[in-house]
Amino acid sequence: MRLMTMICCAALAVAGCSTVYRSSDVIPGSTDGTQVRVVPLTGETVIQANRAPYAPQSLPSAFSQSAGTGAGLAGRGVGVLPDAPSTQAGARNQQLVLNSPPPISPGAYRIGVGDVVMLATPSTGNTLEAISGLLAAQNSRSGYTVQDDGSINIPDVGRVRIAGLTIEDAEELLFQRLVEAQFDPTFSLEIAEFNSQRVAIGGAVGKPAVLPITLTPLYLSEALAAAGSVAAANIDVTSVRIYRDGQLYQIPLADFYSSPDLQNIRLVAGDSVFVDSDFDLNRAERFFEQQIRLKQTTLAARAQALSELNTAVSLRRNDNAERRANFEAREALGASDRDYVYLTGEVDKQTRYPLPYERQASLADALYDAGGGIARETGDVSQIYVLRASSDPREFGAVTAWHLNASSAANLTLATRFELRPDDVIFVAENPVTKWGRTLRQITPSLITTPVAAAVN
């Protein structure tokens, strides 16, 4: 009995000296000019709290820009076809020998640099339009040129390398990329312009030309007709020569006219056809040399253009990297204007949690990601509060305390849906046992010193 009396007296003595243990708590009502309104967190009140306007801060553009967004280089390095050597009529001084190229099957057309592909996506329309076929005429069509690195650049999707692929393979690859970018993959791929594969026609023809290889096979007779047909007076001294892969083939014009098989020789990309009317191999060789020089010049120009593109991409990449490094340095030094949420009370670490860029953060993010989670031994999981001051200047001092009772673990799902706002204060109250324990630890020294002081007196 005497001991209890001494404890009470010591407690009163400590309290009288204003040294008794005090801890923070959320007290509803008006306290020291602050009006506190406690709102329990439920599904409905979470929706209400999330209505507070807030736009997360955005990262600098250097974090989203791609270094490969330079201007297209399609068509760069394409030279002009030189004039074909002049032809002169001459006497046939030796036998023209038939040496036709072997049959060739190049397979399906493969997309190349310079080709223009078209992505046709169906637009909306009513049933009557679809039945009548009008919908096909209303398709949305977007053309893209295959650039020097073999890719096309689709907005919001990025660069897709399709050079060397058949149309079917390119459609499959584009389908996958559109699905990854969350776009409707309903489209058809067409080639609007065939610029990558060509055949040169020169010599004794009506109009020397360069003909494209398309989806439809190009035969020798069709190529000559497209170049204005053979313009030779004497077929006995005229031959059609084909330069292919370093080999020179010869077809006497008389044999060409008399043989459907020779007329239907299929031409492939890179072929050079020269109609010679005076049996002068040197003139034909000059024509082929011109074609070779043209291709070499084209390749050199394309290589230079690709080098320029790589240099521009490298400069952009370095500029973006420097911008990002500068921003990260400002972040580390605290020089950037960040939005923070503050954690206090019975948490593992009193800290502030920076709200992330470009997305909303939840109460669960701050509790479990900021290193300031609920203290397991001292925190009261039934008393978790988010303190939010009113943004209305007419309600200065008004605070809403959103109360989460996590004694039921199911209520923690509400924490994952509750969106935080700048300057929110997350407060975790201490449990009653911790409060009493801390009070007793503060009183215990008084229980020892009080009897001693009384004995001395």
Residue 314 has pLDDT above 90, yes or no: no
User: How far apart, in whole angstroms, are the C-alpha atoms of residue 96 and residue 93?
Assistant: 9
Confidence of residue 8 (pLDDT cuts 50, 70, 90): low
Confidence of residue 279 (pLDDT cuts 50, 70, 90): low
Considering only residues 455 and 42, tell me which one the structure prediction assigns the higher pLDDT.
42
Residue 302 has pLDDT above 70, yes or no: yes
Residue 451 has pLDDT above 70, yes or no: no
Q: What would the CATH number be for the domain defined by 10-57+338-445?
A: 3.10.560.10
Residue 247 has pLDDT above 50, yes or no: yes
- Least confidently predicted of 46-55, 284-293, 295-304, 327-336: 284-293
Residue 73 has pLDDT above 50, yes or no: no
Phi, psi dihedrals of residue 363, rounded to the nearest 5°: -60, -35
Considering only residues 190 and 10, tell me which one the structure prediction assigns the higher pLDDT.
190
- Domain covering 116-193, topology: wza like fold (3.30.1950)
Any idea where the domains of the chain sit in the sequence?
10-57+338-445, 116-193
Give me the pLDDT at residue 126, please. Answer: 46
Of 302, 367, 371, the residue nearest 77 (C-alpha): 302
What is the average pLDDT across 192-215? 91
Residue 228 has pLDDT above 50, yes or no: yes
- Whole-prediction pTM: 0.45
- Least confidently predicted of 15-24, 53-62, 86-95, 244-253: 86-95
Residue 136 has pLDDT above 80, yes or no: no
What is the average pLDDT across 260-273? 92
Q: According to the per-residue pLDDT averaged within each range, which of 26-30, 307-311, 390-394 is highest?
A: 307-311
Residue 438 has pLDDT above 70, yes or no: no
What is the average pLDDT across 403-422? 92
User: How far apart, in whole angstroms, are the C-alpha atoms of residue 451 and residue 457?
Assistant: 10
User: How far apart, in whole angstroms, are the C-alpha atoms of residue 386 and residue 45?
Assistant: 13
Q: Tell me: the pLDDT tens digits for 340-355?
A: 999 998 888 888 899 9
User: How far apart, in whole angstroms, are the C-alpha atoms of residue 28 and residue 24?
Assistant: 13
User: How far apart, in whole angstroms, are the C-alpha atoms of residue 363 and residue 449?
Assistant: 46
Give me the pLDDT at residue 305, please. Answer: 84
Residue 456 has pLDDT above 70, yes or no: no
Give me the pLDDT at residue 41, please. Answer: 93
What is the average pLDDT across 26-47? 85
- Least confidently predicted of 23-27, 144-148, 308-312, 339-343: 23-27
- Least confidently predicted of 163-167, 316-320, 413-417: 316-320
Considering only residues 114 and 431, tell me which one the structure prediction assigns the higher pLDDT.
114
Give me the pLDDT at residue 427, please. Answer: 93
Residue 67 has pLDDT above 80, yes or no: no
Confidence of residue 78 (pLDDT cuts 50, 70, 90): very low
